[in-house]
Structure 1
Amino acid sequence: MRMDKVFEELNKVDGGPCMYSDRSHAFCITLCSRRSVFRSDLIKRAACLATMVENGGRPIKKTFTPQEESDALVYLAEVKAVCMNRTFVVTERGFYGLAPLLTRPGDVACVLVGVDVPLVLRPHGEVGLFKLLGESYIHGAMEGQVKGMVERKQVFEQSVIVC
């Protein structure tokens, strides 16, 4: 799918929840887990990269500068490093994230007290019992933002048993 179509789909107002005012930017940040050396223009770099892929990896005449193409390749390296063995996910609450490849609908992204990163859990048997699938990156739920979400009732607290 062309990147402009991806951005178009991300920005559609579909009535579903979304935690981001700029879905395209959130998507590009999520793909590199916010670890990009670039602090701005990630959308442009992603669009350049997608155009290069569509063009078979060959330079693009008149659309992007050689520096923009070089930056797009750096962004690609960042994305590849972060997305290895991960899948892009959208939570029920509209968060974008990267989760273990075996993640499927019904799994739960959560922040456990005392753990630095969100984890993905799979319900197992009785209520409150979960299997640990692995760590994840959930854009907007890192670096302590979840505490404020609990206070605003955007997310909820629950006791769990991980087996």
Structure 2
Amino acid sequence: MNSDIAMNSKTINCRINGANYQLNVSPAMPLSDVLRAQGFLSIKQGCCVGECGACTVLVDGTAIDSCLYLAVWAHGKTIRTSEGESLHGKPSAIQQAFAESGAVQCGFCTPGFIMATSALLAKPRSQPMTVLQIRQGLAGNLCRCTGYQMIVDAVRKCDAGSSH
């Protein structure tokens, strides 16, 4: 660790995927860098400017671009990554729907889409989402392989199976 970083580091406490962490971070370090350093490799570093959504995680249930979110802001927060979506080593309903719908191609964007989908499906509503609502809800995530329809299909499959 660079001596300037060590001298200016801050200690944060947070929960990541259900486990408590105490981390020393530079005040300017993005959360994406900290998460990857902790072994959460589902966090992809695509654009690093909040345009692609490949680094999407949930912070206290809200989908955020972790490349824009400073790690010091995570103090006292609960963070969930795509690794935290799996249940006892089995894919979550969202992960399963993505696989079954062919929404996983190269896979680079998939963890970010899964987290954005998780946040989108958690929003209260009285009826299933329309295709337009799904597309708008996932607008911050980019995919270069699927053409998006298979991703929309995966979200619709989860939305139809959830209780409203």
TM-score (norm 1): 0.30
TM-score (norm 2): 0.30
Q: Whose RCO is larger (CA < 8 A, sep 6+)?
A: 2
